[in-house]
């Protein structure tokens, strides 16, 4: 049995991942603020266990409650594999630091950084005696290392997620049964977040036209293509715990190291 825990499952990469994972042999735990009814119906029709939770992971209490409820339903056995995919994230607030909406900034930092920390901490504790493949994937961004004017909170939250991944990997490498934790910068993908970027006031985000041009030139990746690459490599034993990788690096792993079954 493969267990997958996916945050931000209602749209974008999260939806694409969940949709591809609705196959026999998988048990899924999905969470988002609003339930994706199409995914629930698809899983029901194919008789694939999908436990879908509506929750706001920017609330530490809701994040902790979600992941603890997951492990109330999971009993890991020989030959099982389990993965946590921290995909949920938000871009707002966008704009100059001097005019930051601090309530929104707190919500963003909680969702983009604190929630993955909470979920990962409990995931590690609940699976520490399990000797089979265990993986935590944190979806990061190129904005973690490339600064954009107007994205001070977003860039900082993703940079924090990268460093959290590195530190957790350092700690886990010394464990008796180490799991793999890594962060992925998936590139620029055609999602709802990209639509929001293209509609942002230029005064708030001076680089807006760059993203409009990428869209018009057809240079945005499709969520389903990125999801396929992720799922064919997520349990690959060549991944280094604590690493931060790009989608191109995952493509190389898939090409030369062989693909894993979903």
Question: Is the Cβ–Cβ distance between 210 and 188 less than 8 Å?
Answer: no
Give residue limits of the domains in the chain: 2-188+223-253
Tell which CATH architecture fits domain 2-188+223-253.
Answer: 3-Layer(aba) Sandwich (3.40)
Average pLDDT, the chain: 94
pLDDT at residue 162, rounded to an integer: 98
Average pLDDT over residues 18-26: 97
Query: 175: alpha, beta or left, given left = phi > 0 and alpha = psi -120 to 50?
Result: beta
Residue 258 has pLDDT above 70, yes or no: no
pLDDT at residue 8, rounded to an integer: 97
pLDDT tens digits along 128-159: 988 889 999 999 999 999 999 999 999 999 99
pLDDT at residue 113, rounded to an integer: 98
Give catalytic status of residue 154 as yes or no: yes
The percentage of the chain sitting over the pLDDT mark of 90, rounded to a whole number, equals 82
Residue 260 has pLDDT above 60, yes or no: no
Question: Is the Cβ–Cβ distance between 35 and 59 less than 8 Å?
Answer: no
State pTM to two decimals.
0.94
| Buried/exposed code over 63-83 (b: 16+ C-beta within 10 A; e: otherwise) | bbebbeebbeebebeeebbbb
pLDDT at residue 193, rounded to an integer: 87
Report how far residue 34's alpha carbon sits from residue 193's, in angstroms, rounded to the nearest whole number.
16
Question: Is the Cβ–Cβ distance between 138 and 160 less than 8 Å?
Answer: no
Average pLDDT over residues 22-41: 97
pLDDT at residue 208, rounded to an integer: 93
Strand order in the sheet with 243-246: 50-54, 26-32, 2-7, 81-86, 134-139, 180-185, 243-246
Residue 175, phi then psi, degrees to nearest 5: -75, 155
pLDDT at residue 154, rounded to an integer: 97
């Amino acid at each position: 049995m493969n267990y997958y825990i996916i945050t931000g499952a209602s749209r974008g990469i999260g939806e694409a991942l969940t949709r591809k994972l609705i196959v026999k042999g998988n048990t899924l735990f999905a969470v988002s603020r609003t339930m994706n009814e199409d995914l629930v119906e698809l899983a029901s029709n194919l008789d694939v266990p999908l436990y879908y939770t509506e929750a706001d992971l920017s609330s530490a209490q809701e994040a902790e409650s979600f992941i603890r409820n997951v492990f109330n339903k999971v009993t890991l056995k020989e030959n099982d594999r389990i993965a946590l995919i921290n995909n949920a994230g938000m871009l707002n607030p966008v704009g100059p630091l001097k005019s930051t909406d601090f309530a929104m900034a707190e919500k963003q930092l909680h969702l983009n950084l604190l929630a993955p920390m909470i979920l990962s901490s409990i995931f590690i504790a609940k699976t520490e005696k399990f000797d089979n493949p265990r993986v935590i994937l944190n979806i990061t961004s190129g904005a973690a290392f490339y600064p954009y004017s107007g994205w001070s909170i977003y860039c900082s939250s993703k940079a924090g997620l990268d460093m959290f991944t590195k530190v957790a990997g350092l700690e886990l490498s010394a464990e008796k049964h180490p799991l793999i934790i890594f962060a992925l910068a998936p590139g620029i993908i055609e999602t709802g977040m990209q639509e929001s970027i293209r509609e942002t006031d230029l005064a708030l985000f001076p680089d807006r036209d760059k993203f409009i041009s990428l869209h018009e030139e057809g240079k945005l990746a499709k969520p389903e293509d990125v999801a396929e690459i992720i799922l064919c490599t997520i349990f690959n034993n060549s991944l280094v715990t604590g690493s931060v990788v790009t989608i191109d690096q995952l493509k190389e792993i898939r090409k030369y190291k062989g693909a894993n079954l979903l």
